[in-house]
Amino acid sequence: MLFTGQAIKASLLPSGFACVMFDLDESSVNKFDQLTLRELGEAIASVESSAARGVVFASAKSTFIVGADITEFGGLFSQGEDEIREWLVQANKVFNAIEDLSVPSVAAINGAALGGGFELALSADFRVAASTAIVGFPEINLGILPGFGGTVRLPRTSGLQAAVDWISSGKHRSAAQALEVAAVDMIVDEGLIESAERILEEALAGDRDVEAIRSRKKQAVSVADDERAVFFEKAKLAVARASGKDYPAAVTAVAAMEKGVACDRADALKAEHDGFIELAAGECAANLVQMFLNDQFLAGKARAIAKGAEPVAKAAVLGAGIMGGGIAYQSALRGTPIVMKDIAQSGLDLGLAEAKKLLAKQVKRGKLSEQKSQAILGLIDSSLDYEKVKSAGLVVEAVVENEAVKKSVLAELEALVPETTVIATNTSTISIDSLADALSNPERFCGMHFFNPVPLMPLVEVIRGAQTSPETVASTVAYARALGKTPIVVNNCPGFLVNRILFPYFGAFSTLLNEGADFRQIDRVMEEFGWPMGPAYLLDVVGIDTAVHAQAVMAEGFERMQLPFESAIDKLFAQGDLGQKSGRGFYSYSADENGRPQRSANPEIDAVIASCSQASREFSDEEIRERLLLALCLETVRCLEEGIVDSAIEADMGLILGLGFPRFRGGALRYVDQVGCKDFCELAKRYERLGAMFAPPQSLLDLASSGAKFYA
């Protein structure tokens, strides 16, 4: 043995080559944590002082190296710029030492070589990959750029265009795609290590020119100055357009490459460090890293809740409308057969037509074969009676939003299905506990709240009623996971989690309009904050009728959500302007050639708003932002305080996945943390005159006085 560590072992192979084997103790994958980095430096030193004729980098796990240890990022990035630079400099010494080894080297990539894993491979002279391997630089998704020489080595190995495409997109690439741009030198189906040894023999025999490779990797990329300038100007524009103003990492990465390709390795690495530090010290990277941890937290929690639940072998959905059709499609797509029941043949026809349309789109995009699409469609069994519903393990009720209808449907269903069948409702506004009154066995009942459109929206709120059993929650969470959705379990209350928080936000919007604010300015301010659409546009998409109905439910549930005036939303509803669905709301809509609604100005809207508002007056962007975010964030705090949701992470992810709260901001509670709990309370007090919605809840006051945060 040349070196024995907890993450790496280096030994001499019978061929006389050293094998640096990555095999992190007590982990299913190799990753570049601090320990692995340190040991890599030590392993390289021991190999360098051995008699090895060449070096193979390999993995003893089923995959190569999946990247950095993201759990270490939070602590690392918050230490300050000097510490981040020092970490980068030390790490890059190791990668440079690999590139400068006195003997040739090759990376034997047996699986995923991502981020730091791929940077290690690029530091070696050669790369041989298993045909199933994937490589790439996903750093951009975390708001950072490759920091171990990726922006320096990829342009020199694979050319400027590939480097820009790969690094700015963050996408994984297949071994074949890597071979196309010389990011790997060879693909093999078996005998990876032997192939690596053969490459080293060829290098030693002079059949592969190691010196030429190394000198190319250490010098500036040979491209004329003006050509380079034109290329990067275009690249930066395209990347900026694709990533948007709120996600600076891709543009910063391209700018680092632009500087880096014009200089030698040392200066190119400096340009990379500068870009990395700029990003790592910013809020966007901190929030996106937290997002990664949040995703893992949610997945882990859902797995734990669903543990032991029998997988749903067959499901059923009652109501083949917008939601029922979407649920049936999603269930079939993910392989769980489903019976779709409606009272009207026309309903079933519509539901099936929707599923067919969605599948045809996938076939057209080349994501599904026609045969597979037919097989998926075959998993949807439509019916006008209950016979086939009886054998379903879980039934989702998605009939019209009417309490009396739902209660009678639920009671009818319960009388027909076995005791073990889980019954869930997709209601958006009716109390789970009230609906449970219709059942003789309410333990088997809970909410399963999907979002529209079902195939696109990742969140499912699983709502626990007062009598819902843990087994019912477990089965429903398991089914949501089987559908490829992210379930978040919440307790019953008006609006559940997501709508309960959305309506105070709409309330703050209506209040601003009532005081004479311009809805176009409000939409612009919130879109600039990062929302995909502002509140007026969102109301049009949700449906003005749906909003009026839900607002009434919320106002009945929470006195603070009552609005002491007739709002513009009420006016629009009264005159039948229901938003996108009727062609007119705050904006006007007409269908384009693909049937998609196109937005334009509604010439009547100012008169509608004026009829129920004070005279129009100027509001600063700041006041608009503060009032809307206060209403939304304070209600999120209340949900956490009351135990409607278990944790800050689940509350924030509910808003991000269910409402489109900007991901790069990390969620409502994360935003409060960033403003500071104390400052946020003070801000709330400034607006308390607007009503109880703006009063800071006790738990926030407590955090403010103790100096604590929602996120540790």
Ligand X SMILES: NC(=O)c1ccc[n+]([C@@H]2O[C@H](COP(=O)([O-])OP(=O)(O)OC[C@H]3O[C@@H](n4cnc5c(N)ncnc54)[C@H](O)[C@@H]3O)[C@@H](O)[C@H]2O)c1
Q: Which residues are at the interface with ligand X (CB under 6 A)?
A: 318-324, 341-344, 347, 398-401, 405, 409, 426-428, 450, 452
Report how far residue 333's alpha carbon sits from residue 455's, in angstroms, rounded to the nearest whole number. 9
In 3D space, the residue among 13, 140, 162, 11 whose CA is nearest the CA of residue 67 turns out to be 140
CB of 343 to ligand X, least distance (A): 4
- CB-nearer residue toward ligand X: 399 or 554: 399
In 3D space, the residue among 256, 250, 248, 294 whose CA is nearest the CA of residue 273 turns out to be 256
With b meaning 16 or more CB within 10 Å and e meaning fewer, what string describes 39-69? bbbebbebbbebebbbbbbbbebebbbbbbb
CB of 499 to ligand X, least distance (A): 9
CB of 483 to ligand X, least distance (A): 15
**Number of Cβ within a 10 Å radius of residue 349:** 13
Find all residues with CB under 8 Å of 257, minimum gap 6, and list them.
151, 155, 160, 163, 164, 167, 232
Residue that the structure tokens 């010196």 belong to: 211
CB of 649 to ligand X, least distance (A): 23
Our answer to whether residue 172 is catalytic in this structure is no
In 3D space, the residue among 559, 405, 425, 402 whose CA is nearest the CA of residue 492 turns out to be 425
Cβ atoms 629, 638 nearer than 8 A: no
Strand stretches in 295-391, DSSP E: 315-318, 338-341, 380-383
Residue that the structure tokens 């002491």 belong to: 564
With b meaning 16 or more CB within 10 Å and e meaning fewer, what string describes 333-343? beebbbbbbbe
Cα torsion through 169, 171, 177, 179, rounded to 10 = 90
- CB-nearer residue toward ligand X: 143 or 325: 325
Residue that the structure tokens 């949501």 belong to: 480
Q: Tell me, what amino acid is at 577?
A: D
Which residues are 397's β-sheet partners?
318, 425
Catalytic residue among 172, 273, 449, 549: 449
Find all residues with CB under 8 Å of 554, minimum gap 6, and list them.
494, 495, 499, 500, 503, 561
CB of 312 to ligand X, least distance (A): 19
Q: Which two tokens stand for residue 237?
A: 């524009």
CB of 535 to ligand X, least distance (A): 17
- CB-nearer residue toward ligand X: 58 or 409: 409
CB of 476 to ligand X, least distance (A): 15
Find all residues with CB under 8 Å of 547, minimum gap 6, and list them.
506, 539, 569
CB of 459 to ligand X, least distance (A): 11
Q: Is 456 exposed, middle or buried (0-12, 13-18, 19+ CB in 10 A)?
A: exposed
Rg (CA), the chain: 29
Return the SS3 of 187: strand
CB of 446 to ligand X, least distance (A): 14
Q: Tell me, what amino acid is at 173?
A: R
- CB-nearer residue toward ligand X: 383 or 616: 383
CB of 570 to ligand X, least distance (A): 20
- CB-nearer residue toward ligand X: 116 or 319: 319
Q: Which two tokens stand for residue 623?
A: 């006041």
Question: Residue 51, CB half-sphere, CA atoms under 13 Å: how many?
Answer: 4
Residue nearest to ligand X (CB): 321
Q: Tell me, what amino acid is at 318?
A: L
Strand stretches in 279-393, DSSP E: 315-318, 338-341, 380-383
- CB-nearer residue toward ligand X: 168 or 492: 492
- CB-nearer residue toward ligand X: 243 or 428: 428
Find all residues with CB under 8 Å of 371, minimum gap 6, and list them.
none
CB of 538 to ligand X, least distance (A): 12
Specify the DSSP class assigned to residue 614: P
CB of 299 to ligand X, least distance (A): 23
- CB-nearer residue toward ligand X: 128 or 323: 323
Q: How far is CA 494 from CA 543, 563, 655, in A?
A: 19, 16, 16
Which residues are 315's β-sheet partners?
338, 394
Q: How far is CA 458 from CA 68, 76, 385, 449, 712, in A?
A: 26, 31, 30, 11, 26
- CB-nearer residue toward ligand X: 235 or 327: 327
Cβ atoms 440, 414 nearer than 8 A: yes
Q: Tell me, what amino acid is at 650?
A: E
- CB-nearer residue toward ligand X: 144 or 490: 490
- Give yes or no for a cis peptide into 487 (omega within 30° of 0): no
Report how far residue 123's alpha carbon sits from residue 94's, in angstroms, rounded to the nearest whole number. 10
- CB-nearer residue toward ligand X: 132 or 452: 452
- CB-nearer residue toward ligand X: 401 or 606: 401
Q: Which residues are the active-site residues?
A: 449
